[in-house]
Amino acid sequence: MRPWIVYSLLRFGIFAALFALLAVFLRLPLQSMGIAGFPHYMIAALAAAIISLAISYICFAKLRAAVATDIAERRARAARGDIDDDTAEEDALLDGETPGDPPRA
């Protein structure tokens, strides 16, 4: 599996877990201050985003480096003109050609 997919899924999973925990555990303290409903969930979402960002920055440095390497390799491949068959077929379809037609000049 591509590193960016793993990294994105891990970050989203950490955010979702933290959001669920914070939404539950912050309910009573925030209600006692008069904060309920939508602001309560916004505070939980903001806190979960900040905490998950810190966790991913500290704990997933190797995975983040792998994502950066993968992106750099894909850009270098595109700069050289090396494209795979799927990309060539998709480009042909977007240009209105059928996949077996020669390219238009």
* 40 confidence band (pLDDT: 50, 70, 90): confident
pLDDT greater than 60 at residue 31: yes
pLDDT greater than 80 at residue 39: yes
Supply 70's token pair.
């993968």
On whether the CB atoms of residues 22 and 40 are closer than 8 A, the answer is: no
Phi, psi of 36 (to 5 degrees): -145, 165
From 55, 43, 48, 40, select the one nearest 20 (Cα to Cα).
48
Say what the pTM is.
0.69
